[in-house]
A and B are shown apart, each in its own frame.
Chain A
Amino acid sequence: MARSPATCRYDIRIIALSATYGVLLIGATWLFKHHQVTGPLAWVVAILPALPIVGMFAAIGVYLVEETDEYVRVLMVRQTLWASGFALSIATVWGFLESFGLVGHVAPYCVVILWYAGLGLGGLANGLMTLRRGA
C-alpha cells in the first residue's frame, strides 16, 4: 500500500525525534553521572530528554491535521484512542496497587511505553476489524 505524503512526513519526524531523544538521554545521563550539572541547569538537563517524547505526541497531532485521506485518519484516531485507554487503564490500576503497597513504584514516564504499546494494539484492532468485515 502506498504511503501518503503525510505518513512519510510523520515517519521522518518520528525518526528525527527518536534520534534526538537518544542523544539527549545519553548526554543527560552522562552529565548527571559525572556530577556536571547542579541547580537550575540540572532541571533543564533533566527535562531535555522528555521534550522529544512530547514532540512525538505533537507529531501525531500534526499528522492527523495533515492527513487528507479521511478513512486513514479515522484509523489513526481509533489507534490513539486505544493507546490512551490502554495506558490510562493500566496506570490507574497500577496506581491503586501502589497506593496500597502491593507493588513497587514505577516512574510515570513508563506510561509512554504503555501508550505506544496501546498504539500497536489499536493497529491490531484495526487490522482485525478489516478482516472480520471482509476486506
Chain B
Amino acid sequence: MNNRLKVLRAERNWSQGDLADRLGVSRQSVNAIETGRYDPSLPLAFKIAELFALPIETIFVSPSEETAQ
C-alpha cells in the first residue's frame, strides 16, 4: 500500500529511527511501511495518523484508488 510517510517524516526532519521511537516500533518496521513492503495493522495506522495529526486516508493511499488511477 502506497503512503506519504516518507514525505511527512521528511517535512519534520525526522529520521526513520526518530519516527520508530515515536511509534514504539523498530526502524526496520518504519522502513518496511515506507517502502510498501508491509501494510500496518489498523491500530498502528491510527497511531501513525494521530502522530501526524492527519486522517488515515491522507497518509495511506486506498488500494482501490490506486487501481482506479
Contact = CB atoms under 8 A, between A and B. Distances in A.
Interface of A: 1-2, 4, 68-72, 74, 129-130, 133-135
B28 interface: yes
Interface residues of B, number: 16
B9 interface: no
B29 A69 contact: yes
Given A70-B44, A71-B32, A135-B31, A2 B26 contact: yes
Interface of A is mostly: loop
Contacts of A72: 26, 28-29
Nearest to A132: B37
Contacts of A74: 38
Contact of B26 (A4, A133, A134, A135): A4
Contact of A68 (B24, B27, B31): B24
B30 to A, nearest CB: 9
B55 interface: no
8 contacts: A1-B27, A1-B28, A69-B25, A69-B26, A69-B28, A71-B32, A133-B37, A134-B35
